A and B are shown apart, each in its own frame.
Chain A
Amino acid sequence: EVQLVESGGGLVQPGGSLRLSCVASGFTFSNFWMSWVRQAPGKGLEWVANIKQDGYEKYYADSVKGRFTISRNNAENALYLQMDSLRAEDTAVYYCARRIAGSATGGNFDNWGQGTLVTVSS
């Protein structure tokens, strides 16, 4: 059974930093693209970032580009999201998701973690 477990969320002040983690199990982690998707309170889903199997190809939403960094450790089946220069509008539940795609574009997110809440507030 595929499992994705996020951690690292919490309350942080505007301008601060936070690092989210996602530990995967139940599948060969190194064979899959991975993603972060967020959901602001009471709002819809917003794609944040993707990372390729080898960690060298990464894509970011414009809203987080230059502030967030996605990375992975295949030896530890772990996905990360380093979030810097946080803003109030980054407040959301952040989901780790496995991406299914045959190429760098397109595809879907076939398994999701339970999410971790990030609150940016003074």
Chain B
Amino acid sequence: QSVLTQPPSVSGAPGQRVTVSCTGSTSNIGKGYDVHWYQQLPGTAPKLLIYGNNNRPSGVPDRFSVSKSFTSASLAITGLQAEDEADYYCQSYDVGLRRWVFGGGTRLTVL
């Protein structure tokens, strides 16, 4: 069981908006540690997608955005495109476990 809980899968049609939730606890997200998001396209290494408070590395479109509320965070993808089909992971730090933690991952399917 992952310390950060994500839905196993989400789906949406091209052009739609989808969200991926990431639920933590008072030992990680609720403690104030930033949540970061990674995109892993099929057969490739993870790539940092968004870090902290809606900071996007160069090249990441603003169709990707995040929000945070106490012990949870959410990744939103608008204007869904076929190339967005991938696994998405949230990541934070857990002060109780004293380790860096990932969500279990969410597979996005573009219908």
Known: A108-B91, A110-B51. A62 touches B46 (CB 8 A): no
Q: List chain A residues, Cβ under 8 A from B103.
A: 44
Q: How many A-B residue pairs have CB under 8 A?
A: 59
**Contact indicator A105/B33 (Cβ below 8 Å):** yes
**Contact indicator B99/A44 (Cβ below 8 Å):** no
The residue that B34 contacts in the complex, of A35, A108, A113, with Cβ under 8 A, is: A108
**Contact indicator A105/B105 (Cβ below 8 Å):** no
**Contact indicator A114/B99 (Cβ below 8 Å):** no
Interface residues on B, range: 20 to 34
Give A61 to B100 CA distance when docked, in angstroms.
8
Known: A44-B2, A115-B45. A106 touches B99 (CB 8 A): no
Q: List chain B residues, Cβ under 8 A from A112.
A: 45-48
Interface residues on A, range: 20 to 34
Known: A45-B38, A45-B105, A105-B33. A110 touches B48 (CB 8 A): yes
**Contact indicator B46/A105 (Cβ below 8 Å):** no
Which residues of A approach B to under 8 Å, CB–CB?
35, 37, 44-47, 50, 59, 61-62, 95, 100, 105-115
Which residues of B approach A to under 8 Å, CB–CB?
2, 33-34, 36, 38, 44-48, 51-52, 57, 89, 91-93, 95, 98-105
